[in-house]
Structure 1
Amino acid sequence: MPPLPVAETGKRTERPHPLTPLIRGWLLLVAIVLAVGREFLPDGHRDGGFQRGDLRWLFIALGVAVLLAAAAGFVSWWFTHFVIDDDEIRVDSGALWRRSARVGFERLQSVDIVQPFAARPFGLVELRLEAGGGDRSLVLRYLRRAHADRLRGYLLARAHGEQRSVADDHGPVASGFTDLGADDRPLVTVSSARLIGSFLLSTEWLLSAGALVAMLVLGRWFAVLSFLVPSMIPVAIGTLTLVSRRVLAMFRFTLSESPHGLRVARGLTNLTSQSVPLDRVQGVRVTQSLLWRPFGWYRLDVDVLGYRSEREENNRSEATTVLLPVADRGQLAGALSRVLPGVDVDAVPLRRPPARARALRWLDFRVLRSGWDARVVVTDHGLLVWTRDIVPHGKAQSARIRQGPLQRLLRLADVHVDTTPGPVDAVARQLDVADARAMATGQLDRTRAALRTRPPRS
């Protein structure tokens, strides 16, 4: 079978930047250096330790690895082409097995820019295109920053139904540190002191650091520190990984308002700029841990349609559901007013479960509340970590009732209001059976009514 054509007649195809193989291959080279070099380190089993002959073989192995990595990277770059014009988005790749991925403008969920640390000195970035409807996300590595900014502006405009030509999009380039453009308006900038303080008061950090300190103290006290070192290494690695996820990845966190929704820029070593289309937000979660309450700090997460995020802490370089990692009451209210325009969450009437539910939820019975108004459904729970889930009626996908054996004895039930996968988990807990049935059936009616009045694009 002949190979697939690179492009159709008349289509202007582009390759990623020529330095792409170098940037993509440096991590592989570091991994090879660590793997090969470890074999030549003295471990107490070889006589003489590191020898000069070992150094010669190490250089030979590294040279071969560099050549192989460079050849593989060059082949991958040479056979990668993309087309972004007035008609389509297409990425062709593969040397032996050709792959062609196309995404329609109307299926674009978000267009994000990611700049790894290795790409920063060269002014290059990744362009990530998140698509919905089962389409795979597309990643273009690497493009010049100015080129990626203009493509992002054009794609976001087309995704929102604007008829624009890619040749006409020559707007100003956004800042390389905050990704703020001329039309962007900053809403919240999380200070480094508050970010670090919230991390030091997080349960994950306190448990990890406490376990490490306890092992050190016990090891010194009972003179068994050498036996505990192998167990301490994974704990130390986990602690450092937590620092990277919660501090480095969220450093200089900026939430801004752009012409096509909200934009999140974050990262100390790797800059990640993520577009958050407001019409794709399916739900909102507000949390406050017990240690944050004296400072009045909150965290804001959202469910976004099309994001392949996990329910755990997803502070990696990919798309994140974190809209504010830490914020005060005023900043939280400002962000909520943009995500849920016209909704006063504090005015939603909330009710507690019946008194008999205290037998099952005696610890957090006082914070269990749920209710709704004409726009949203709201649920509260959690004593150590207070959590409020908010789901607009038009975004709810289903409503279901769950009842365990003990709940059946007490005539109680839970009502789940489901949205797309993400951190939001709206559950009205421990309701009277009759109230649960009325809430679930009423939620279906409220969802249908909201869908009838919802704008076509949302």
Structure 2
Amino acid sequence: MSDVIESGRLHPITAVRRAWLQLSVFGWFAWDNRDVFGKIADKFGVWGLAWAAAVLMTVLTAIVFASWHKTAFTLTADHLDYRYGLLWQVQRRIQVSQIRTVDIEHPLFGRPVGVRSMTFSTASGPTKLAYLGPRAASRLHDAVVLQTGARSAKQRGGEGIVTRVATADLALSILLDAEVVLGLVVGGAVSFVPFVLSGHALTLSLALPWIRSAWRSTGKRFPRHHGWIVREVDAGYRTEFGLFNKQQYTWQRDRISSITVHQPLLWRSRNWVRVTGGIVGHEDLLLVPVTTRAQAEKMLVHIYGPDVLKAMDAPERASRRARWCTVWWRSCAFSRTQHFAAGWRGLFLKQTVTVAPVSRVLEVRVTQGPWQRLHNVAHVMLELPGGTDVEAVNRDAEEAAEIAATMRRSCVQTSLAGAPIARRAAT
């Protein structure tokens, strides 16, 4: 049996949160039998009523305490156990090696008490521990990160800020998102046309879905992404964000299979981009909601090393033959180096480039439809274990075959060499 690294119970307020059903039942029982309490007061006086209330509160306190006593966690070098339940006891076991990210949230209504909630993301889904005291959450977080981040077992030193998102830039970037603006304009026009034509107030109810969509695409994004900071720690990187519900998650550079840089249409004048990463069990993880391209490239160098910029700076455009297969053939590009591959897509509303280490490629696939076969072009897809795949779209058939053969050889060579990704240069 593995030695216990960290163990304990959740915060006592967790029992109140879990016992809401029992508390609701007792509250309904007391309200439904309020005439009984009136008779007790008439027969035994105020002291009799006080005794009845004391008995009821004692029962409730016993239920809450028993629920809290049965809720506990245990962390060893191999697994994390989480036990809870009073009548129906449940035990969940997570293999520490399968934990991808560790998220810490400071819930809005839990801030006066100072509690935290933790979410452990794995390939099978997330597991949430709520709530923990601040010291217990910090100790458990550091212990899990140290176990999963075996790259460095030294004590955590200074934490440098890789990037920080300014509040003004975040607000302006949401308003300048072309997809958001176009969706709001079209949705608003469609939602309010029946009212303009008929004049009936009841037709305004058709605008409720549009209002909900507008809130999710603008108002909800701002408090969620407010105060976004990415810090470099010994085990990888830690992201902190949130205006009302403070959250943070830790991710490791060695587990990122791909990184995608998005640039919406209206962001190009300011040279802003959005950065997402693909992690197994946590696809398209948002790394930075908005930043400059120079800062994004600096972050890529932090994660993958300086060689990644060579793959992103030399896109090879598709041949003119591809114009018969897609209108946006000028945006189809692909590049490759010894360690990295990158694919471009998008031309009008949003341009994206996805870059991935060759060593993370699981499968190299070449597809060619009837229309592509007629014009002698083909797709090459590099499938990755998580996130966005890298594609070479509408390449010449001979070039596609050569790319596929080269990628297969590179995958085999890097796998035999035992280097999962190209390490970044020491600083």
TM-score, normalization by structure 1: 0.76
> How many angstroms apart in 2 are the aligned matches of 1:433 and 1:441?
12
Residue of 172, 178, 182 corresponding to 1:197 = 172
User: Does the aligned pair in 2 maintain the 1:22–1:70 contact within 8 Å?
Assistant: no
Conservation of the 8 A alpha-carbon contact between 2:9 and 2:69: yes
Q: Matches of residues 34-73 of structure 1 in structure 2 within 5 Å?
A: none
Q: How does 1:262-301 map to 2 (within 5 A)?
A: 262-301=237-276
| 1:7-406 alignment runs, 5 A limit | 14-23=8-17, 77-85=68-76, 88-132=79-123, 134=124, 137-161=126-150, 183-211=158-186, 213-214=188-189, 218=193, 221-307=196-282, 309=283, 321-346=285-310, 349-362=314-327, 364-384=328-348, 385-406=350-371
Unaligned runs of 5+ in 2: 25-30, 36-59, 423-427
Q: Decide whether aligned partners of structure 1 residues 22 and 199 sit closer, same or farther in structure 2, where only a CA change above 3 A counts.
A: farther
How far is 1:124 from its partner? 0.7
Contact 2:159 2:232 in 1 (8 A): yes
Aligned equivalents of 1:26 and 1:182: distance in 2?
42
Could you tell me how far apart the structure 2 residues matched to 1:185 and 1:432 are? 45
Name the amino acid aligned to 2:208: I
Distance 1:257 1:286 in 2: 20
Give the 3-state SS of the residue equivalent to 1:122 in structure 2.
coil
* Percentage identity across paired residues of the two chains: 24
Give the Å deviation of 1:143.
0.5
Q: Mean Cα displacement is larger for which, 289-298 or 233-242?
A: 233-242
**How far is 1:322 from its partner?**
0.8
Cα distance, 1:184 vs. partner? 1.6
Contact 2:259 2:278 in 1 (8 A): yes
Q: Residue 317 of structure 1 aligns with which residue?
A: none
How many angstroms does 1:192 deviate by? Answer: 1.1
More strand per residue? 2
Shift of 1:345: 2.3
Residue 438 (1) aligns with residue 402 (2) = yes
Call closer, same or farther: CA 1:448–1:122 in 2, change over 3 Å: same
- 1:255 positional shift: 1.0
User: 1: CA distance between counterparts of 2:391 and 2:249?
Assistant: 29
Q: Secondary structure at the match of 1:222?
A: helix
CA offsets 1:78-110 (integer angstroms, 9 cap, x no match):
432211256752112233443322334333322
| Alignment partner, residue 43 of structure 2 | none
Could you tell me how far 1:251 is from its partner in structure 2? 1.0
SS in 2 for 1:399: strand
Residue 418 of structure 1, aligned match among 374, 378, 383: 383
Distance across 2 between alignment mates of 1:252 and 1:116 = 15
The answer as to whether partners of 2:261 and 2:276 remain within 8 angstroms in 1 is yes
Flag the 1:149–1:12 CA change in 2: closer, same or farther, 3 A.
closer
Distance 2:2 2:20 in 1: 34
Give the distance between the partners of 2:61 and 2:375, measured in 1 at CA: 68
- Residue ranges of structure 1 left out of the alignment (5+ in a row): 1-6, 31-55, 61-68, 172-180, 312-320
Contact 1:396 1:419 in 2 (8 A): yes
SS in 2 for 1:301: strand
Partners of 1:338 and 1:12 lie apart in 2 by: 31
How many Å apart are 1:415 and its aligned residue? Answer: 0.5
- Are residues 455 and 157 of structure 1, via their aligned partners in 2, closer, same or farther at CA, if it must alter by over 3 Å? farther
SS at match of 2:243: coil
The offset of 1:335, in angstroms, is: 0.9
Query: Contact 1:23/1:119 (CA < 8 Å) preserved in 2?
Result: no
Larger helix percent:
2
In 1, Cα distance between the equivalents of 2:354 and 2:133? 40
Deviations 1:64-91 (A, max 9, x none): xxxxx99997765443221125675211
- The size of the alignment, in residue pairs, is 392
Tell which structure's C-alpha radius of gyration is larger. Answer: 2
Equivalent residue of 1:197, what SS?
helix
Partner of residue 411, structure 2 = 447
RMSD (Å) for aligned C-alpha atoms:
3.6
Farther-moved stretch of structure 1 (80-89 vs 226-235): 80-89
Distance 1:267 1:434, change over 3 A: same
After superposition, what is the alpha-carbon deviation per residue over 1:271-318, rounded to whole angstroms, capped at 9, x for unaligned?
1101111110001111111111111111111111232x4x6xxxxxxx
Return the offset for 1:139: 2.0
Alpha-carbon shift at residue 242 of structure 1 (Å): 2.2
SS in structure 2 at match of 1:326 = strand
